[in-house]
Amino acid sequence: MASSTAKASRSAKIVPLETGDGPIGKVLRVATKPVPSSEPHPAVDEWGRDAKFVDAFAAIARLRWDVSVGGQQLLPKSGPALIVINTRPLALTPVLTALALSEALDRPVRFVGRPDVVPFGPLLRRIGGLLAIPEEVGGALRAGELVLMGAEGTRNPRHAGKVDHHLVAAAIREQVPVHVAATLSTMFSRSARIEVTAALRSGRNRRRGPLADIELAEQAQRRLQDLLDEIGGTRTGVPVLGWFGEG
Amino acid sequence: MGSELGSLVASLLESEPWVGSLEGIDVDPPRRRLRRAVFHLIDPRNRARVFEVVTRFNPHVVIHVAVWEPDARANTATARRLTEDAALSILGAAAECPALQHVVIRSAAEIYGRARGSLTRPDESTPINPTSEFGRMAAEIEATANDVGDRAGVTVGILRLAPVLGPHVPSPLGRLLRQPAVPFSMLADPPFAVLRDLDAAQALVAAGRIGLAHPLNVVAPGAITALQAIRRGHHLPIPLIGPEWAVVRRVSQLFGAPVPEHVVETLHRGRLIDGSRAREDLGVWPITSTPGVIDSLYAWPSVVHVISPTAPVNEGAA
């Protein structure tokens, strides 16, 4: 009995680290802070998009951009679609457009073009990035996702670049509508605009082979250029900055 | 039948109306009480004995679950040997059975590999490119099974299971996540998906019932990252960048939780698969979501104190 009493008194002195009052205890308490297991939604979805992280990122992006979205009602409320946008080099247009459309539609919009290297790849995956591989785009469309891809980047914000027909082919294979969205922004202003169009109609002569991919990609580029011409340049009211807005 | 998954499959098969008689082989005894099944404790290296038992039974359907995940029940070298021996001896003997109509194989999602530029969620049409030892083992089992199917003229159904976890399943990933302090990749922290043992067993039984004749991915809905899993379990996350993983793996092994190559790959590169086709083809789908499986992993108490209601209460005395 004596030995067991001593054992009990010894065990009573053992205090778990996280219950200590010192700085280590405080750090451990924060690090092991319980997460409610009854959370209605998991933090990442089946493609690795983290809704909470997206919300935080969008809040920061709103400090820089004031995006107005038009034509979002033309996109499906549920079900898959491929959206082609114009991009500029190093402008992160697909990321910002995907965030703005996600907010406008209240559903995740994924963008194509994340790298597969740390730390940028995992970071962009958290906000809905996909690899620029046709099979990856096809898989997301098959899963009923809205996928956004950028045309080739151009220095002139009012010129639509070439559209990758390999990625567009995924939409044809999955029989998914293809929309075009023109984006307009300048580096000197907060305001940015996104204008979405109705789904492209395929030509009268339906192709069965790879020409269908190329023709649809060219059609998307032409429609994108028409849309950019219709929107016009960014009006800043300042002569020099206005010239920048025109490209 | 000796593994957790194997004995679970056997107990589910016992209640299936299409199953007449049921026999199983393993190197370990069953972990559940089986009422109808006949169990044979045979080392897979003993091919003559395996051949004798299998050909005498002459099965219509073979469900091959004898896949040893590295560092789950045996170290990597032993797991590879046992898996190879079991695949050769059992499937080889089954090929000689005249009644054989159908073979179901337990494979693994690790078979797709996680090489740079590989798809985030590979589906069944994605070419296999294993990048870990467990993935290569799965590829070899599939090759053996397909060879047996071609030679014997029977259909082969392959279930590529996401990492199988459960409160009682020996799994290196589960063991690592249950450590008091758990390492994770700070720069990547990629998402992965898992599968509960019961859902895996139900998928294997359904594959046997419908006579599945192609590969299928089976995965629980949802995904989770290592940090999120650690925080759900209220454990201490240890952020790692890269080179220190080698040290952490050795230390973890000393504490009884070895971290094999495929688990490191999961923690660095993630492990997601597209399991949508299984819903249509099998008619059953995993009920427990990935976060739910992780919760059940942590909900398992290591020690259950059972207090007898008749025992006298004597505080302060031993």
- Residue B303's pLDDT is 55
- Residue A35's pLDDT is 56
- Cβ neighbors of A1 (< 8 A, separation 6 or more) are B317, B318
- Residue A1's pLDDT is 38
- Residue B160's pLDDT is 97
Tell me the per-residue pLDDT of B121-157, one tens digit each, with 9 for 90 and over: 999 999 999 999 999 999 999 999 999 999 999 999 9
- Calculate mean pLDDT across residues B61-65: 96
> What percentage of chain B carries pLDDT values higher than 70?
94
Instruction: Residue B163: count other Cβ atoms within 10 Å of its Cβ.
Output: 27
Cβ-defined contact of A131 to B272 (cutoff 8 Å): no
Instruction: Residue A186: count other Cβ atoms within 10 Å of its Cβ.
Output: 18
Q: Which residue has the tokens 């004031």?
A: A66
* Min Cα separation A31/chain B (Å): 6
pTM of the entire predicted model: 0.85
DSSP collapsed to 3 states, A4-33: HHHHHHHHHHCCCHHHCCCHHHHHHHHHCC
- Residue A10's pLDDT is 47
Say how many CA atoms lie within 13 Å of B37 toward its Cβ.
Answer: 26
Element (H, E) at A67: strand A66-70
Question: What is the spatial distance between Cα B105 and Cα B62, in angstroms, rounded to a whole number?
Answer: 8
- Residue B91's pLDDT is 95
* Min Cα separation B300/chain A (Å): 14
Q: What are phi and psi of A90, to 5 degrees?
A: 60, 20
pLDDT band at B186 (very low <50, low <70, confident <90, very high): very high
- Among chain B residues, the shortest Cα distance to A43 is held by B224
Question: What is the spatial distance between Cα B240 and Cα B237, in angstroms, rounded to a whole number?
Answer: 9
Question: What is the spatial distance between Cα A94 and Cα A84, in angstroms, rounded to a whole number?
Answer: 9
Q: Is A28 on the interface with B (CB under 8 A)?
A: yes
Minimum-distance CB partner of B291 among A42, A122, A142 = A42
* Min Cα separation A59/chain B (Å): 22
Q: Decide which of B77 and B303 is more confident.
A: B77
Q: Which residue has the tokens 């099944």?
A: B37
Q: Is the ipTM of this complex over 0.90?
A: no
- Residue B206's pLDDT is 96
Cβ-defined contact of A131 to B228 (cutoff 8 Å): no
CB B162 within 8 A of CB B243: no
Tell me the per-residue pLDDT of A166-182, one tens digit each, with 9 for 90 and over: 999 999 999 999 999 99
Question: What is the spatial distance between Cα A111 and Cα A94, in angstroms, rounded to a whole number?
Answer: 6
Minimum-distance CB partner of A48 among B190, B232, B295 = B190
- Among chain A residues, the shortest Cα distance to B242 is held by A118
- Residue B315's pLDDT is 42
- Cβ neighbors of B224 (< 8 A, separation 6 or more) are A42, A43, A44, B191, B192, B193, B194, B232, B290, B291, B294
Question: What is the spatial distance between Cα B44 and Cα B29, in angstroms, rounded to a whole number?
Answer: 14
Q: Considering chain B, what is the average pLDDT of its residues?
A: 91
Q: Is A130 on the interface with B (CB under 8 A)?
A: yes
List, in sequence order, every beta strand (DSSP E) within A116-229: 129-130, 146-150, 178-185, 191-196
Chain A residue numbers with beta carbons less than 8 Å from the beta carbon of B317 are: 1
pLDDT at A17 over 70: no
pLDDT band at B202 (very low <50, low <70, confident <90, very high): very high
pLDDT band at A25 (very low <50, low <70, confident <90, very high): confident
Which one of A145-149, B233-237, B253-257, B282-286 scores highest in mean pLDDT? A145-149
